[in-house]
Amino acid sequence: MKSVFRSKVLITGINGFTGIHLEQFFIALGYDVYGTVIDTPTNSNHYQCDITQLAQIDKVLEHIRPDFVIHIAAISFVGESNASLIYDVNVIGTQNLLESLITHNIEPKKVILASSATVYGNQGKEVLDESMIPQPVNHYGCSKLAMEHISTNYFDKLPIIIVRPFNYTGLGQADHFLIPKIVKHYKEASKTIELGNLHVAREFNSIEFIMQSYYKLMISKESSLVVNLSSNQPIKLLDVIEQMNTIAGYSIKVEVNPAFVRPNDIASLAGCTDKLESIIGTLPKLSLVDTLTSMYND
């Protein structure tokens, strides 16, 4: 029988890459963890819910009445071609969640909303900080910025923190994302791999770093702010290939496929960590080599 004193965490999109890791992380810390999924649930603490449908999120929130909310349900693949779906889920879905919390007089201790570093666009700067005016260059980034604007209207009603995660990866991430795609080619001993722009630099943080950041922000006293989830450690794509060559013990041939080169691709994405660390302190950052090695050996 569950203790009535255990805090309840609701994670939207709990069966996605980040949600799966967060669920196990919070269970290990002693929280009662609930989540929404778009498909038929296989876990008694998961609830089928299309967040674009207000009535569905109403039903879930009325039943759970969570102490904390981490909203990560989203169309998170930049290459998604259905623009209207991106906006429906990322913007309207978020508004539905916030409206439902207020309508049902649910007063969570913290609501964390996942935006994205792609809202910055091309800033012409090596390090991106929260004071910069966003300039998103694709529908995904635009939808996340719109979500941020909608959500700031609720700052006076709910204890909200909007996070802008920079790239992160780890075990279980879908193969259409860059790092899992690369690792899969090496695990299959492929002789060649097709990639896009080889000269882009990105942060490739670990899912462990992201989980710790979410937790520290969740229990912090701060709210009504936007903060990067970043390490300020950009890594060139070619360096990732070199690291994988060493891990796998052979060199793969890289071919540039023009179809993978986005015309508005962001040259460099690295986030200033000052604001994050002022709230949660300095967190240990798992090296990319360690992350790549664990994914390759899995």
Number of alpha carbons in the 13 Å side-chain half-sphere of residue 188: 11
Asked about 250 being catalytic, the answer comes back as no
Q: Is 259 exposed, middle or buried (0-12, 13-18, 19+ CB in 10 A)?
A: exposed
| Whether the Cβ atoms of residue 52 and residue 88 lie closer than 8 Å to each other | yes
d(CA 151, CA 162): 8
Identity of the amino acid at 240: V
Residue 12: phi, psi to the nearest 5? -80, 145
Identity of the amino acid at 239: D
Residue 11's alpha-carbon distances to 132, 174, 224, 270, 279, in angstroms, are: 29, 19, 20, 27, 22
d(CA 259, CA 239): 22
| Whether the Cβ atoms of residue 161 and residue 229 lie closer than 8 Å to each other | no
Name the residue with tokens 């943080």.
205
3-state percent breakdown (helix, strand, coil) of the chain, nearest 5: 40, 20, 40
Residue from 47, 87, 140, 214 carrying the catalytic annotation: 140
d(CA 215, CA 249): 37
Indicate which residues carry an active-site annotation: 140
